[in-house]
Amino acid sequence: MRNCRCSSSVRILGRSDLLKKAYQLVMKNKEKLARIITLENGKPYRESLGEVAFGSSYIEWYAEECRRVQGTVISSPSQSKRMMTIKQPIGVCALITPWNFPLTMVTRKACAALSVGCTVVLKPSEETPLTALTLAELFREAGLPEGVFNVVTCDRDGAADIGGTLCESPLVSLLSFTGSSAVGKILLNQASGTVKRCHMELGGNAPFIVMSSADLDDAVKGALDAKFRNTGQTCICPNRFLVQEDVHDEFVKRLNIAMEKQLVTGDGFADGTTQGPLINAKAVDKVDDYVKDAVSKGAKLVRGGTRSSFGTKFYPSTVLTGVTLDMRCMHEEIFGPIIAIYRFKTEEEAIRIANATSYGLAGYAYTTDSKQQWRMAEALDFGIVGLNEGLVSTAESPHGGFKESGIGREGGIGIGLDDFLEVKYVCIGGL
């Protein structure tokens, strides 16, 4: 059972065709899926439509990418031997996905597994199970065999038990998890008993660096693009804004104007809304605590910073200046609509502060100096670096981090399938 695979009944072209059909069904039902995402998650409907498009791109990508899985022929040191490698599906894959991208996080993992012939047991977030269940129905409608894509739901109290069972089961060959670093470490420990392959996409603490040579209008646009998707609740959201001292005041001025014009907090189904509620009241409390901690230690509140009158799960888009390194918002993942700005002097100082974290998922830098771009791209200790760009994620690019931000990569050419494949060496002798 450990190596249970669907490849014996559904060969590569069949799997590719099934995923292409699933892609068509998802796009056909994009309005329905987007509505479910907004109802469960709270993100604005327009943004939910964007997530359906982004999530479905992984279905289409892996439908094609699986056809390019290749072994190798090895030059033999002996005339009597022929050597090669072949790649086979690893087996049953347990996937644990978060609430912030309830469709994309499923398709990015599950479609990679399904495309190479693995079977899937998915535990979606207890906050957003309906998106995953709807997707499972569309997969079945596309013709995926019964038992190949399985969804296990639970309430919050049952999440730890299900996670532990998936980690400890000898029937599961791979665990893929997206979530906090703290939970990821627990799952890694639980999975060690069966020496299970693990893929982890964990927490982030992304810096957003604005150098004096930056195009400030581009930097402001990038800040809004990167920071306020899903109301700041993404793993690659900028967390620490580092702005060089001679452009600091002008950047803050332009940022404040842009936020005033472009960001609208409200009901996700209302026209013009760009910022929905946070996922729950606990998240609001956490974000508010970061603001209070920073202000109590001398930070200046430029905008926002008080609980929204719109509802108990809403928090306004907030800007803090005068941030110092002893404030919690400079060390912990905020996961909310706060821009905390630290003023720095030199490139070396910015790199040192940016890298002074146990996380290493994403980092951003804005500079028009081409030499500086190369220096910063190589010096930033993160798995994803956006240079003069705030929107970096695509199906074509690898997604994953350094240090405590994870193990392995999702998406990208070839690399996104590696975790779901075993490499087998075959040696034929007596020739």
Number of other CB atoms surrounding residue 215 within 10 Å: 14
- Spatial neighbors of 255 by CB under 8 A, at least 6 apart, are 220, 223, 319, 339
CA distance 79 to 372: 53
Q: How many helices (H) and strands (E) does the chain have?
A: 12, 18
Active-site choice (60, 201, 404, 410)? 201
- Spatial neighbors of 29 by CB under 8 A, at least 6 apart, are 134, 138
- Spatial neighbors of 157 by CB under 8 A, at least 6 apart, are none
CA distance 4 to 26: 27
Number of other CB atoms surrounding residue 254 within 10 Å: 17
Angle at 202 between CA 200 and CA 208, to 5 degrees: 135
Task: Please name every residue paired with 422 in a beta bridge, in sequence order, or none if there are none.
Answer: 88
348 is catalytic: no
- Reading the block at residue 88, the tokens are 């086979």
- Reading the block at residue 1, the tokens are 């059972």
Q: 309-325 burial by CB neighbour count: b if 16+ within 10 A, else e?
A: eeeebbbbbbbbbbbee
- Structure-derived torsion over alpha carbons of residues 320, 322, 325, 331, reported in degrees to the nearest 10: 0
Angle at 154 between CA 30 and CA 121, to 5 degrees: 70
- Reading the block at residue 231, the tokens are 């109301």
Q: 275-292 burial by CB neighbour count: b if 16+ within 10 A, else e?
A: bbbbbeeebbebbbebbe
178's enclosing H/E stretch is strand 174-178
Residue with tokens 């791209």: 377
CA distance 343 to 353: 11
Task: Please list the active-site residues.
Answer: 201
